[in-house]
Structure 1
Amino acid sequence: MALSFLPALALALCFGPPQPVQIAGYSGHAMEPFISRDGETLFFNNRNGPSDQTDMFWASRIDDTHFRYRGPVAGANSAELDGVPSLARDGTFAYISPRIANGRAAAIWTGHWAGAAVDSPVLNHALTPGRWPLFNMDAEISADGRRLYIADTRWAAPIPRASDLRLAVRTRDGWRRAREFDFWFASINTSRALEYAPATSSNELELYFTRLTPHFLAPPALEIMVATRADVTSAFGVPARIAAIIGFVEGPSVAPDGALYLHAKIDEMHVLMHAARTC
């Protein structure tokens, strides 16, 4: 499906109510979905609570809302938290697994997806935003494998104090933070809310993300947002909330036909959902 340019306010109305995704052979919590750019493989992690052993898993497609569980993501899971998987068309696999050393928290790993496992994962120390409690909470690799859309986050409990979207680019010497592209996100990042869990369409003209707005003495508001742009050199415009996606919802991922996968918390269980695109 060729996706035509739509302003964010119009695109935000192009999604139907989310429907549950069934993963045959898997029955645990499921979060942070990523659907491969060919639509055939679904990656996700289990719950990422403080007492959980958080790992990544993968499943193969039966149809849009049914997948067959294939197992853990071998080669990438560790005794630490491992999650937020994403995959480029060239096989570059990116994920989050924080390590703290010398007061700095590096979190973004990249390796090569070999069809059933990740080969030679490397921790990218150059991408850390600064000294702890600053760290990268999320990252998604672009379809062509040349850019990482990342969340720079300041840790605090029970929820982070701040989180904004940034860009990293791939060079001959590895990955580097690309602050020259901060203007792309000028209409997206806010001082009051947290912006995280970025997800891009394959042409990078559509950017989806989660926005969490804290409220005093009340639960925070969670929204799935979308911003668009007319070409890949321009900044993203003012984002709009996707009206059909409500509740405890996070972590969008864009399917080849423009539909969204995400996770929701329903009756204390984290489940994957699919929101079909209608225009």
Structure 2
Amino acid sequence: MKIKAFFKILFISLIINSCSSNDSDIAESVSYPSFGSEIEVNINGLLFDAMEPFISPSGNNLFFNNLNDGINTKLYYATKINDSTFNFVGELVGTNQTTTPHLDAVADMDSNGNFYWTSTRNYPTELENLFHGTINVGSVSDIERVQGDFNMNIPGWLIMDHGISLDGQFLYFSNARFDDTDCMGPCETTLGIAQKDNSSTFNTLPNSALILQNINDANYIYYAPCISSDNLELYYTRYLKGPITPSTVFEICVAVRRDSQSEFSIPRVLFSEVISNLIEAPTLTVDKNIIYYHQKTSDSHKIVMRYRNYL
């Protein structure tokens, strides 16, 4: 695949029933979260798009990238004033490439200060495109590629998105195949779960497919997984596979489970919008009280939030 074509289709993709026998038991024994009305997030001093938000475990920093155009996409951060107001600080030092075209995006972090993101640096010479490093006061150091059998290591296949568990032990990943000859955006995707072997290596759980069997469906494109702090709620974005048109609906979904070893339930759609009001990339606070995600506007992309409903 030509690198120019890769950037083009990656941009398009980012702006854009297999059931177990005890599905009914899962549905009866767990409850799905719900959230209130949408609230716009203000980032004081920010003059460009904000996409792919991630709220830090402390809740004090909001990470995001600018427009996912694959040309000059960088990671930035802002500091918290209140739940819906942040002050823009600037680039996240160490994560961003300096030579265009490039993409550094999709921030993620565990409670131990290990920071993760996707990057096109040296692609396709090196096919592993998930990176990690140590974050400290707006800077990431000790940067390495994340190794493991969750990487397909096949040209055209990428880790499109990822979500790290709060304790850093489990990586939820989205494998995506791109082919600009056959399809617009990802041709196919699969969500999976990998467990940490060491600081630079995760390997796929033997029962990953079983745990996610109620979620993965060949009719959908999946990305932007986010696992809650207690490992019981999995949030992600999906849309029906096929040509992306003005009527394509993007959905933020959640699946739940009884305990951290069980399979997830059949997913429930929380919010949905057509592409003109595109919504993507949920991230949850540690207390699960707030969900943040980004939304497309007439001329930009902004971050919004909702509070969790409690009985």
Correspondence for 2:189 among 163, 168, 176: 163
- Count matched residues: 271
Distance change >3 Å, CA 75–CA 190, structure 1 → 2: same
**Are positions 1:233 and 2:261 aligned together?**
yes
Tell me, yes or no, if the aligned pair for 1:168 and 1:175 is still in contact at 8 Å: no
Task: Give the aligned partner of residue 227 of structure 2.
Answer: 200
Aligned to 2:297: 266
Q: 1:1-279, aligned counterparts within 5 Å?
A: 11-12=32-33, 14-50=34-70, 52-79=71-98, 80-98=102-120, 99-101=122-124, 105-126=127-148, 127-157=150-180, 158-172=184-198, 174-180=200-206, 181-214=208-241, 218-219=245-246, 220-243=248-271, 245-246=272-273, 247-258=277-288, 259-279=290-310
Aligned CA distance change for structure 1 residues 164 and 7 (closer, same or farther; 3 Å): farther
Per the TM alignment, residue 182 of structure 1 is displaced from its structure 2 partner at its CA by 2.4
Post-superposition shift, 1:11? 2.5
Q: Name structure 2 gaps, 5 residues minimum.
A: 1-25
- How many angstroms apart in 2 are the aligned matches of 1:7 and 1:205? 15
| Residues 166-175 or 259-268, more deviating | 166-175
Aligned partners of 1:215 and 1:221 also within 8 Å: no
Q: Structure 1 vs Structure 2: percent identity of aligned residues?
A: 29
CA shift at 1:261, angstroms?
0.4
User: 8 Å contact 2:30–2:257 — kept in the other structure?
Assistant: no
Q: Give the distance between the partners of 2:40 and 2:30, measured in 1 at CA.
A: 25
The alignment partner of 1:100 has SS state of coil
* 1:251 Cα deviation from its structure 2 partner: 0.3
Change (3 A) 1:236 1:159: same
Q: Against the structure 1 CA distance between its residues 205 and 107, is the aligned structure 2 distance closer, same or farther, given a 3 Å change threshold?
A: same
Contact 1:214 1:221 (C-alpha < 8 Å) held by counterparts? no
Is the CA contact (8 Å cut-off) linking 1:43 and 1:58 kept in structure 2?
A: yes
Rounded to whole Å, the distance in 2 between the matches of 1:146 and 1:217 is 35
- Counterpart residue identity of residue 260, structure 1: I
**Cα–Cα, structure 1 residues 253 and 100, in superposed 2: closer, same or farther, change >3 Å?**
same
Cα distance in 1 for residues equivalent to 2:303 and 2:284: 13
Aligned residue for 2:266, secondary structure, equals coil
**What secondary structure, in the 3-state scheme, does the structure 2 residue paired with 1:62 have?**
strand
Q: How far, CA to CA, are the matches of 1:118 and 1:76 in structure 2?
A: 6
Distance 1:34 1:81 in 2: 17
Q: Following TM superposition, by how much is the alpha carbon of 1:214 offset from its aligned partner in structure 2, in angstroms?
A: 3.6
For 1:58-79, what per-residue CA distance to the aligned partner results, in whole angstroms no more than 9, with x for missing partners?
Answer: 1111111100111100011113
Distance 1:267 1:10, change over 3 A: farther
Deviates more, 1:152-161 or 1:86-95: 152-161
Structure (1 or 2) with the larger CA radius of gyration? 2
Note closer, same or farther for the CA distance 1:115–1:173 as it changes in structure 2 (3 Å cut): closer
Distance in 1 (alpha carbons) for counterparts of 2:28 and 2:57: 23
Q: Is the 8 A contact 2:124 2:155 kept in 1?
A: no
Shift of 1:105: 2.2
Q: Distance in 2 between matches of 1:25 and 1:227?
A: 36
- CA distance in structure 2 between the aligned counterparts of 1:277 and 1:149, rounded to whole angstroms: 23
Give the Cα separation in 1 of the matches to 2:110 and 2:224: 16
Task: Indicate if the aligned counterparts of 1:201 and 1:254 stay in contact, CA closer than 8 A.
Answer: yes
C-alpha RMSD of matched pairs (Å): 2.2
For residues 62 and 271 of structure 1, the distance between their equivalents in structure 2, rounded to whole angstroms, comes to: 17
Aligned AA (1:86):
D
What are the superposed Cα offsets for residues 151-190 of structure 1, whole Å, 9 maximum, x if unpaired?
Answer: 0001134311111211122113731331412221111111
Following superposition, the deviation at residue 8 of structure 1 comes to 10
Provide the secondary structure at the position in 2 that maps to 1:28. Answer: coil
